[in-house]
């Protein structure tokens, strides 16, 4: 489980220097950004979740926030690949 909370303005999450990459099954990631002008999954970086039956939540409050490059990758077939992004 990964949880990150950023408060204030002009926060970045998932930059080229600090990519977010979670691997494995049945994992959870939650990112909360409050304030204005926050970015998640920058164009030259990103947030990747690789595995099956995992969930990711990104919450941004404020103005001019952006989610750019967020990916979930599953492997195998059927319900084992059931990842959820909210």
Q: What's the predicted TM-score (pTM) here?
A: 0.84
Identify the CA nearest to 59 among candidates 13, 1, 17.
Answer: 13
pLDDT band at 29 (very low <50, low <70, confident <90, very high): very high
Give residue for tokens 């990916």.
71
pLDDT tens-place string over residues 44-57 = 889 999 989 999 99
Average pLDDT value for residue range 26-33: 94
3-state class (DSSP) for residue 63 = coil
* Band of pLDDT at residue 85, cut at 50, 70 and 90: confident
Give the C-alpha distances (Å, rounded to integers) separating 31 from 75, 77, 79, 85: 24, 28, 25, 11
Angle subtended at Cα 48 by Cα 8 and Cα 69, rounded to the nearest 5 degrees: 60
Residues 6+ apart with CB under 8 A from 32: 3, 4, 5, 6, 59, 60
């Amino acid at each position: 489980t990964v949880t990150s909370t950023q408060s204030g303005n002009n926060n970045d999450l998932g930059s080229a220097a600090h990519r977010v990459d979670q691997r494995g099954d049945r994992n959870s990631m939650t990112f909360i950004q409050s304030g204005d002008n926050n970015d998640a999954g920058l164009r030259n970086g990103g947030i990747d979740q690789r595995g099956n039956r995992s969930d990711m939540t990104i919450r941004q409050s404020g103005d001019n926030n952006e989610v750019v490059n967020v990916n979930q990758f599953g492997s195998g077939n059927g319900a084992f690949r059931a990842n959820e992004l909210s």
